[in-house]
A and B are shown apart, each in its own frame.
Chain A
Amino acid sequence: MRFYEVPDTLYAEQDQFDRDIKEYVEGRINPVKFKAIRVAHGVYEQRQEHTYMVRIRCAAGGITPTQLKKVSEVGDVYGSGEVHFTTRQEVQVHDVLVNGVIKVIRGLNDVGLSSRGGGGNTVRNILTSIDSGISSTEVFDVEPYAIALTTRMIDEPDSWNLPRKLKISMSNGPDDTTYTQSTCLGFVATVKDGVKGFQVFCSGGMGAKPMVGHALLDFVPDTHVYHVTKALKVMFDKNGNRRSKYSSRIKFLWKKVGEDEFKRIFHEEYDQIKNDRSLDLVLESIDNSAKSTDLAVQSVDTAEFELWKKRYVTAQKQEGLSSIKIPLELGDVLRADANSLCDFLLNFGENTMRCERDQNIRLRNIPTEYLGNAYNVITGLKKSLVKHAPFIGNMINCTGASTCKLGICLPRGLSSAIRDQLTGTDLDLDIIPDFRLNMSGCPNTCGMHHVANLGFFGKVGRKDGDMYPAYNILAGGKVEKAGEMKYAQRVDEIASHRIPEFVNAFLKVWIEKKKAGTYADYNTFLEEEGNTLIKTLCDSYRDVPTYEADAGFYTDFGAKRRLSMDELGTAECSAGMFDMIEVDKKQIKKARKVLDAGSDEERPDAIQKILFSASRMLLVTRGLDAKTDEQVYDLFGKHFMTAGLIDEKFRPLLALGKAADVSAIFAQEPAVLALTSEVEALYKNMDDSLRFKATDGKVIKEREGYELDSEVEAEPVAKTIQMFEKDYRGVGCPMNFVKTKLVLETMESGDQLKILLDDGEPIKNVPGSVKLEGHAVLLQEQVGPHWEVLIQKK
């Protein structure tokens, strides 16, 4: 069984990708170009250079035990050894080195999984309700639609080059477990006059500028799922070229053109195809049953077992079958755990598992008489949180600064710290099993803080110029009912290190009130006293020790070093980047006030400041970092004027700026202000891919011959790479590294060295030490009892 079929064209694409990787390593493709190629293959660079994560599509969250075993095998051989279950109901392999990427991808072919479209401007993984097909209260099973739609969409060439990503989700009933209003296109199963169909929402989205989705169609028959999606996709695609200001994301398009116009242009497409029955999806219903097995039944008869059943086991609508939630520690599964779990599941067949959007695993189709066996297997997993109340495993956190280039804080560390704090108290967490405590490392919402009951997203705190990790606090997200979604609102902010105590104190009050039945629901509690409580608690934690007094406060949970923005990705990084842009925006605003109200003596200075900030403001979007004031003008001239983004007529201002000739600049006041408006307009029309658009919505293409990277790094020059090979099996630590170093010293930059190392300490230590010296580790692969490590000299 498979949850989608990969198109045949995929293999040729992989061969091309393989060649691209080789060219990149040899320096013949620059990193920016390589990024565009790899992201479409679901391959993202992690915070550490030359280290990648591979995102694997799991339509409807479906993955078979056979598939998971394979993913954890390639993850173990080429990556960190853990498979990560994500909020997008898919799986990821982390810490894959550049030459391992293609091996992971080809390994997945064996089991019909693909990372194609894991990222990039395409139709992303389609989400479905976790209990779809097995819930006794659902309207109907939506999985067949998600699966058929996925297979159809990834087979259509026009799915691969959309203006932006397109996210789709499908709920099996009005309790909307897939948050259809937080996504580009959401389907909610419903029945009208005896006809199966969907209520359709669209234009929702989280991210740094969240928007709640709107009702697009009150009802479409279930035969029309493809038509709606196709129409939206085509309309989306076309609008990329329309005279529209906000064309990049569906949510912005709605905001810009308004409901009526949006619906009109949607129907323009939809009405053309809606009666074409040849386009209907070919649905295959999903058989939720268990294969018969001669596995011996294990019966367990303990209080713990009964508690576990209450917490984690749900009866399915299918007689005699159960669904089981496995709470994972930070969403990660070790290979050994995956193997023991999957081997158990294969007794009952391939349709036994789903990825749950709270970064957990949900089993299904487990015969109830085997619950004892399941209990024994699950409690035997090394990295599960099954001993705890469901609240603990339900916490969501993005990967944050440990691997993500945009991350400010480390929500993984925070999540563990909160867990340690709460499990050390007598809080009755079983009172709030469904509580959503979600954390993101930056404003980008990968940890879904907008839908949280209590959410956090990372920010930089400052004390006397020192930076410490901190979070914004949000509360009150509402997702329980289709059409009534509400995002959480920001309430306050707090230092990372105060959060565990804060959460403890806050939940203590909520659990008491909930037990006592004081309020109708959580949001009423918030309105009546919860929001005030958050602020009062924050006030009591407001005190920040100086760095001298408590250095630990300045190092995030789970971080090795104190918080610093140095390693933030530049062009890829929106969070840190927006902060930098803000500085110049504020400076311009302040100077404008002086122009309006200040004295005459202050005016020339203000104009100079405006010119400087306007020139600097957008450099960061191109990944440029001016070392001196003069360089600001040089870089701005080259990357904005020569590139054709800003009118050449302003060029004379740059020389004045460089010469810091205040009176000459002041004489050009109108030109400076006009230039500033152009820069601001450019920024206003920048999309999340950092592309600038003209007011007509067209992407402003950089002028021919202009190469963004020419300044940042020299044009790639092809070089013949020399290969070296050394066998350090049997050589202990640190002599193996000593020898490796000595060989690297004799090599030329760009040359590659393959070393053989023993398992254990050598493989744990040597590659890391090589990286610390600045070399790139391209591949690290276990071959029998030893390891092969491929190093490229810096």
Chain B
Amino acid sequence: MTLTEAQVERYSRHILLQDVGGEGQEKILNAKVLVIGAGGLGSPIALYLAAAGVGTIGIIDGDVVDVSNLQRQVIHFTPDVGVPKVESAKNKIQEINPDVNVVTYQDIVHSKNILDVIKDYDFVVDGTDNFAAKFLINDACVIAGKPYSHGGILRFDGQTMTHVPGEACYRCVFKQPPPANAVPTCSQAGVLGAVAGMLGTIQAAEVLKYIIGVGDLLVNRLLIFDAKSMKFRTSNFKKNPNCPVCGENPTVTELVDGEQAVCDLKV
């Protein structure tokens, strides 16, 4: 595949980068990325991946746009209220970049469908809002051998890490989901809209770095930031040999649906 004149023009600011060039851009154009959740994190992730020219973007989300989403879910606009989120997202992506092939799934991920959905993608991005889904995505990706980006936000805080096969997974750090209601859900806590944007774009950058193969991913590292003090830090951790999913004697060998403390105020 060679870039067309219009593509050279469109992606020139990528091509200029020494680490990207034409070759890197072609990798992006050939990549397939699944974004789980078209909410606060999924919006910036999908927008930036679309603008970057990711060839195929899959989006899975079962909700319709609610007016309370618009404070942070920037891919949806006021006239979209009531429209399925995946539809609304697809329309925006195609307006940004007609090069992108968008595949939509109007559904939530659960233990029965997730392996089937992720199997066609090179990379999975977690933009969900609850621990049950986060553990499910982690377990599915570890089992299926897919790299993925974990992301979570609450109030003014964000955290993210990247998993690639063979390296530490989310469960290596957090063994199991906290009991339902042990942590505040978004409805109790709220979230600053821009924090979703901050974390989502960090995740999008990780995806692109992975695709073109440059830099150091947040592998075996957890990035945590507090937007109130605007302090970022990363803490290193190791693959845990006793990890229930990726350890030497895994106890999680098939997927189950946890109890989902579903958030009223979707991330």
Interface residues of chain A, those whose CB is within 8 Å of chain B, are 734-735, 737-739, 741-742, 745, 772-773
Contacts and interface: CB of A to CB of B under 8 A. Distances in A.
Contacts of A741: 15-16, 21-22
B189 interface: no
Interface string B1-39: 001000011001001101001110000000000000000
Contact of B8 (A742, A772, A773): A742
Contacts of A735: 8-9, 12
Given A735-B9, A735-B12, A745 B18 contact: no
Contact of A734 (B3, B12, B21): B12
Interface residues of B, number: 10
Contacts of B8: 735, 738-739, 742
A738 B18 contact: no
Contacts of B22: 741-742, 745
Nearest to A734: B16
Contact of A745 (B9, B12, B16, B23): B23
The 8 A-B residue pairs whose C-beta atoms are closest, nearest first, are: A742-B22, A738-B12, A738-B15, A745-B22, A773-B18, A734-B16, A741-B21, A745-B23
A371 B12 CA distance: 57
Contacts of B21: 741-742, 745
Interface in B183-199: none
5 contacts: A738-B16, A741-B16, A742-B3, A742-B8, A745-B23
B81 to A, nearest CB: 41
Contacts of B23: 745
Nearest to B18: A773
Nearest to A773: B18
A633 to B, nearest CB: 35
A689 to B, nearest CB: 38
Interface of B (DSSP majority class):
helix
Nearest to B24: A745
B153 to A, nearest CB: 33
Contacts of B18: 772-773
Contacts of B15: 738, 741-742
A684 to B, nearest CB: 46
Interface of A (DSSP majority class):
helix
Contacts of B3: 742
Contacts of B12: 734-735, 738
A593 B105 CA distance: 79
A585 B12 CA distance: 54
A48 to B, nearest CB: 18
A735 B9 CA distance: 7
Contacts of B16: 734, 737-738, 741
Interface string B112-129: 000000000000000000
Contacts of A739: 8
A742 B20 CA distance: 11
B35 to A, nearest CB: 29
B213 to A, nearest CB: 15
A738 B18 CA distance: 10
A734 B16 CA distance: 8
A401 to B, nearest CB: 25
B36 to A, nearest CB: 34
Contacts of A773: 18
A737 B3 CA distance: 15
A734 B12 CA distance: 8
Contacts of A742: 3, 8, 15, 21-22
A738 B3 CA distance: 12
Nearest to B12: A738
A99 to B, nearest CB: 25
A749 to B, nearest CB: 15
A773 B18 CA distance: 6
B19 to A, nearest CB: 10
A124 to B, nearest CB: 42
A741 B22 CA distance: 8
Q: Report which residue of A734, A737, A738, A745 has the largest number of chain B beta carbons within 10 angstroms of its beta carbon.
A: A738
Nearest to A769: B16
Nearest to A745: B22
A354 to B, nearest CB: 48
A755 to B, nearest CB: 15
Q: Report which residue of A737, A739, A741, A773 has the largest number of chain B beta carbons within 10 angstroms of its beta carbon.
A: A741
Contacts of A734: 12, 16
Contacts of A738: 8, 12, 15-16
A745 B8 CA distance: 14
Given A738-B16, A742-B3, A745-B21, 18 more contacts: A734-B12, A734-B16, A735-B8, A735-B9, A735-B12, A737-B16, A738-B8, A738-B12, A739-B8, A741-B15, A741-B16, A741-B21, A741-B22, A742-B8, A742-B21, A742-B22, A772-B18, A773-B18
A329 B16 CA distance: 37
Q: Report which residue of A735, A772, A773 has the largest number of chain B beta carbons within 10 angstroms of its beta carbon.
A: A735
A745 B16 CA distance: 12
A346 B122 CA distance: 74
A758 B12 CA distance: 19
Contacts of A772: 18
A773 B19 CA distance: 10
A735 B3 CA distance: 14
A773 B16 CA distance: 10
A741 B25 CA distance: 12
A742 B26 CA distance: 11
A49 to B, nearest CB: 17
A765 to B, nearest CB: 11
B85 to A, nearest CB: 36
Interface in B145-178: none
A399 B79 CA distance: 67
A110 B257 CA distance: 87
A445 B128 CA distance: 68
Nearest to A772: B18
A429 to B, nearest CB: 48
Nearest to A737: B16
A734 B13 CA distance: 9
Contacts of B9: 735
Contacts of A737: 16
A513 B194 CA distance: 68
A739 B12 CA distance: 9
Interface in B50-84: none
A745 B12 CA distance: 15
B212 to A, nearest CB: 13
A233 to B, nearest CB: 52
Contacts of A745: 21-23
Nearest to A739: B8
A737 B18 CA distance: 11
A180 B22 CA distance: 61
